[in-house]
Amino acid sequence: MLKNITKIISIFLVITLLLSTTLVFAENETIDTGIIENQVNQGETTEDGIMPISTDSNELENSISEENPEEEVDVPQNTDDSYKKSDVYLAGDNITIDYIVDGNLFICANTVTISSQIGGDAFIMAKNIVIEEGGYIFSNLFAMANDIDVKGVVYDVYALSNNFTISKGYVYRDFRISCNTLNINGSVGRNAFVNCSNINFNTDGNSNGIIYGDLNYSAKSEIEIPENIVTGKVNYSNIENNADITVSSIIASYILDLGAFLAFVIIIWLICLAIAPKFLDNTNNYVGKKTLSILGYGLLALLAIPVACIILILLQLTSAFSLFLLAAYILAIVLSKSLFTITANNYVCSKLKIDKKLPIFGMLIVSGAIIWALTKIPYVGSIISLITIILGLGILVASILPKKNKSVEVEKVSEKEND
C-alpha cells in the first residue's frame, strides 16, 4: 500500500514540477564524425558551398589551400601559446582569441574577436562580439552583447543582443535569438527561433541569406519574408503590446485569480468536513498563545524538510522515502494557505458565535477574499503570503504531531499529590 502511495505522490510531484517550471535547454546533439571526415576526404560540401568543420588542423589547412592555392595559410601549431587544452576564462577590454581552445570558453569583455577554433561551448558577455571568417565554434555559442557579427561558423546560437548579423557566416544547426534587428547574409543550417522587431536578408547585396529549416519568429507585426529564403515553414506569432492590455482585462484576471483561490479553499474545507472534522473543531487551539510555536513549527518545516531530502538523496539512503517526503512537502506548501484561511475563519466565527455550517461557509468566502487581497498589496503582499504559508505549515505539523493524553496527565498529578 505504501509503495502505491509513494508512486502516486511521486507522479504528482513530477507533473507539478513540469507545470510550474519553465526551463530552456540547449540541444546537445552528437555529430557523426565519421560522416564529416568522409565528406572532408571526398571534398564534399554543403548546399551553400561551405565545407563541414574539420577536427584536424592539418585537414583544415589542406582544404583551405585547395580553394586558395596562392594564399598562404597560417595554422597555429600545437604549442603553449597557440593551443589551450583546457577551459579558458578571460576578462578584459579587447580580447582576441587567435589560438585553438580544446575546451569551453568563458569571456567577459568590451570587444571580443574570435579567429580560431573553439572545441567546446563559448559563453560570452561583451559590448561587441565578432566571429571572424577563420573562427569556428564547434558547439554552442551563448552570447549577450549589443552587436554580434558572425562571419565564421557556429554550430548552435543562443543569443540576446541589440543587433545580430550573420555576414557570410554559417550557423550549422539551430539559431535562437532575441534582438532588435536581425540581418541574415549567411546561412542557418536548420531552424531559426527569433524574437525581434526587424529581420533583413541580403543587406550587403553580395551574399545570399538563407534558412534551410523553419523560421519561427515573434514580433509586434508580421514581417514580409522574401520568397526562396526559407526552405521550411514560416511561423509567426504576435507579441502582445502592453498598450493593448485594458483595465477590464486586468480586472478579469484578478477576478479569475480570486475565484480559483476561493474554490480551492472551499474544496479543502469540504474535504476536512468529510474526513477530518476534529481538525476543524480544534483549529482554535492554534490561535493565541500557541501562535508563536505554530510559527516556529512552520519555519522549521519550511527549511528543514528540503535539506533532509537532499541529504538522503545524496547519501543514496532510503531514496523512495526521501522522494515521498519531498512530494508531501510540496503538497503541504500547496495546502498551507488554505489551512491558514480555514483556521482564521473558524477563529472569527467562534468570536462572532457562528456555529452553523452555512453561515461558516459564507464567512469562509469573506475571510478568503480578505486574505487574498492582503497578499496582493504591492511590496508587502509577498511578505504576507510567505507568513501565511509558514503559519499554514505550522498548523499542519501541529495537527499531525501526537497529542498528550490529558487523563494520563491528571493521573500523574494525582499521584504526586498523594505522595
The model's pLDDT over 337-388, given as tens digits with 9 standing for 90+, comes to 999 999 999 999 999 988 888 999 999 999 999 999 999 988 888 999 999 9
Q: H helices within 120-179, ranges in order?
A: none
- Contact present, 61 and 78 (Cβ < 8 Å): no
Asked if the model's pLDDT at residue 413 lies above 80, the reply is: no
Instruction: Give the pLDDT confidence score for residue 318 in this predicted structure.
Output: 67
Asked if the model's pLDDT at residue 309 lies above 90, the reply is: no
The pTM is what? Answer: 0.45
Q: Which residues are 96's β-sheet partners? A: 113
Instruction: Give the pLDDT confidence score for residue 221 in this predicted structure.
Output: 80
- Contact present, 51 and 170 (Cβ < 8 Å): no
Q: State the average pLDDT over residues 266-271.
A: 94
For 377: left if phi > 0, alpha if psi spans -120 to 50, otherwise beta; the answer is beta
User: In angstroms, rounded to a whole number, what is the distance separating the alpha carbons of residues 211 and 201?
Assistant: 10
Tens digit of each residue's pLDDT (9 = 90 or more) over 390-411? 999 999 998 888 766 544 444 4
Q: Which is nearest to 185 in space by CA: 171, 199, 165?
A: 165
Q: Which amino acid is at 160?
A: L
Tens digit of each residue's pLDDT (9 = 90 or more) over 10-42? 444 444 444 444 333 333 333 343 433 343 344
User: In angstroms, rounded to a whole number, what is the distance separating the alpha carbons of residues 127 and 219?
Assistant: 24
Tens digit of each residue's pLDDT (9 = 90 or more) over 155-195? 999 999 999 999 888 898 899 999 888 988 888 999 999 98
Q: In which band, very low, low, confident or very high, does the pLDDT at 203 lie, cut at 50, 70 and 90?
A: low
